[in-house]
Structure 1
Amino acid sequence: MTALQRLADLGITLPTPMPPVATYVPVSITGDLVVVSGQLPAVDGKVAVTGKLGAGVSLEEGQHAARLCLINVLAQLNAALPGGLASIKKVVRLGGFIAATPDFIQHAVVMNGASDLAVAVFGDAGRHARSTIGVPSLPLDAAVEVEGMFSLV
């Protein structure tokens, strides 16, 4: 089963990728490595989950935001690669940035929203290295931002 078929089985349709909001490229390819710039939890071009974990954004909302971020990472990959998601051999690394209060300590649980989806879409090839970092704020008041590194077939 392909990644796109797994997404369809999960009821997920990839959106049109958001254009960059500053001076950077959304996807950079070098050799067999692909890096996707940080993606926000956007739906229809608007950030869907704003605020901070520990101050109004629940753990479940944070996990949903991380999942939306990964959906946007996958949309960037699908649009940028000639073979779309079929070009992905492995999810190498995901990086998560969680906007949170200083006393919030469940960053890893929030980021599982993205990691669990990566495994659901790519199977064992979706298991990855990961960093999850708490930050005081993110662009457009997003609650979560996720970036990714992938290897190509």
Structure 2
Amino acid sequence: MSCYEKLQALGISLPAVATPAAAYVMYAQTGNTVFLSGHIAKKDGQVWVGQLGRDMQTEEGKQAARAVAIDLLATLQAACGGDLTRVARIVKLTSLVNSTSEFTEHHLVTNGASELLAEVFGEAGKHARAAFGVAQLPLGSCVEIEMIVEIR
């Protein structure tokens, strides 16, 4: 099953590619490696505001991370000239979770993105990653994730 068939089976339609909110580009490519800028969580087209451990719990944060992964896939598709079948491997995710100092389940929040990428790309979607808790993210977003991808 192709990545597009998997997306369809999951009921996922990729959104329009986001535009940069500051002085950066959404992705940069060197050789066969694409670096995707951090994407913040959105819900119903708006910034998904919240802090894990204060007004959000792990499961909602996981849903937010999954939403970020969908936006990352839209940007990745643009980086691949409109063809996600060019993805050779998702190499690494870096996840920033807006959280209280007591919250310790950043890794479980980030699973929302990691699990989706593995569903869509199979073995090629399994990646290295880091998940951090931070005191605040741009616009009050609950999660921000960046991604490194090898393409063909």
TM-score greater than 0.5 by the shorter chain: yes
Post-superposition shift, 1:84? 2.1
Distance 2:7 2:17 in 1: 16
Post-superposition shift, 1:70? 0.6
5+ residue gaps, structure 1, are none
Partner of 1:107: 106
Partner of 1:33: 33
Post-superposition shift, 1:83? 4.5
Is the 8 Å Cα contact of residues 18 and 45 (structure 1) preserved in structure 2?
no
Post-superposition shift, 1:50? 1.2
Is the 8 Å Cα contact of residues 34 and 79 (structure 2) preserved in structure 1?
no
Distance 1:44 1:4 in 2: 23
TM-score (structure 2 length as normaliser):
0.96
TM-score (structure 1 length as normaliser):
0.96
What's the % identity of the aligned pairs? 41
* Amino acid in structure 2 at the alignment position of 1:22: A
Residue 113 of structure 1 aligns to a residue in which SS?
A: helix
Matches within 5 A, 1:1-153: 1-43=1-43, 45-47=45-47, 49-153=48-152
Post-superposition shift, 1:98? 0.2
* Amino acid in structure 2 at the alignment position of 1:21: A
Work out the number of aligned pairs and report it.
152
* Amino acid in structure 2 at the alignment position of 1:19: T
Q: What is the aligned-residue RMSD (CA, Å)?
A: 1.1
* Amino acid in structure 2 at the alignment position of 1:46: Q
Residue 57 of structure 1 aligns to a residue in which SS?
A: coil
Post-superposition shift, 1:45? 3.8
* Amino acid in structure 1 at the alignment position of 2:4: L
